Structure 1
């Protein structure tokens, strides 16, 4: 199975060959601004407790985060179904867990509304839960949320991505993509938080760490 890093790299190279220079500059500048803010340092670090909160499944049922800790938990936060890098990540996770004898305790979380979340689940044939953080409250506790500046907002709108329609937020906001492993005691054992949205935790490496906790 090809690595996620390879798939992301190939997609990025293909996109950059055809994308307008001004859009590439806007995307690059936005990543640099986020890196300057050191958003990755604002949330829980390894050996610190996981924040609690309530998520929702596609049927509107509430899911308490701490209630998922009967065994170690992998959480991956993603931007939304419109983001091709996020979809490559979720697809890689699905391929990987299909090779495992035991399904890992894995959830994916975004702030998108139910209809968009259902589409992500169906279009990618995901067997693990994709949960909703409707007001970004859990993602904010993890320190992942930032408001999208006007320049990037215009790029998203050109792509047909209106975040105020796809989420319950009144302003354009996004989470930094991130992946955590939480042990059954609620302590963070692994954290990958990267302001560069084209870089993600490698699922096979995350799973190897997760399996050592069991």
Structure 2
């Protein structure tokens, strides 16, 4: 079963209000409106693309260890997943799919990291919840997401909905800005050039892990031994 088919099945049950979700239609309608507006804004087209240079970063992982893109690329190509947080079921399913694909990435010499605005406590929860063996990096204020062109401000009506659902993003993230990254996936070669980029303003749509293998094979063929 593909990642997207799992996401589609979850979405169908969630939007149908099946237990244990029991979500009112007004909630679904509001989420659809926000997604449609983000798509219409053209924000995804302004994000970093294949052929562009990776914005360098240094962030803390879930244990507080500093992780830099420079150090990661010195060891091989890099897979990066930007995701919203442990509170997002679509993100958790994506992380699980990436964990399953991790041996294939490693065979091609690649490292995998996920980047989220959530704080380290919640990143540790993500690692435990999804049985992850790769690091989750905390991106305070979505600054790295902004450098990739992924950060967006949530509209006021969506903020009010999240508050009504007790989905307290300032508490999750340690940041009062109510911003999120668009979900995105990147493959970066050792020279820092992006080989693969997939950005989707619809958070229910995610690329398959296998979609990145051609770019990783290309990068492996060019690999620099440190």
What TM-score range do you get, normalising by the shorter chain?
over 0.9
Per-residue deviation, residues 84-141 of structure 1 (Å, max 9, x unmatched): 0000000111122256773741111101011100000011110111111122111110
Q: 1-side partners of 2:104 and 2:63: how far apart?
A: 28
Are the equivalent residues in 2 in contact too, given 1:54–1:133 (CA < 8 A)? no
Selected match of 1:80 from 76, 79, 85: 85
Q: 1-side partners of 2:69 and 2:16: how far apart?
A: 41
Are the equivalent residues in 2 in contact too, given 1:78–1:108 (CA < 8 A)? yes
Structure 2 counterparts to residues 1-214 of structure 1, below 5 A: 2-18=1-17, 19-70=23-74, 71-98=76-103, 102=107, 104-214=110-220
Are the equivalent residues in 1 in contact too, given 2:187–2:197 (CA < 8 A)? yes
How many residues align structurally? Answer: 213
- How many Å apart are 1:37 and its aligned residue? 1.4
Q: 2-side partners of 1:22 and 1:109: how far apart?
A: 31
- How many Å apart are 1:148 and its aligned residue? 1.1
Structure 2, gaps ≥5 residues long = 18-22, 221-226
Are the equivalent residues in 2 in contact too, given 1:53–1:137 (CA < 8 A)? no
Are the equivalent residues in 1 in contact too, given 2:53–2:192 (CA < 8 A)? yes
Are the equivalent residues in 1 in contact too, given 2:102–2:112 (CA < 8 A)? no
Relative to 1, partners in 2 of residues 1:98 and 1:48: Cα closer, same or farther, differing over 3 Å?
closer
- How many Å apart are 1:157 and its aligned residue? 2.1
Are the equivalent residues in 1 in contact too, given 2:105–2:216 (CA < 8 A)? no
Structure 1, gaps ≥5 residues long = none
CA RMSD of aligned residues (A): 1.6
TM-score, reference length from structure 2: 0.89
Q: 1-side partners of 2:112 and 2:181: how far apart?
A: 19
SS at match of 1:55: strand
TM-score, reference length from structure 1: 0.93
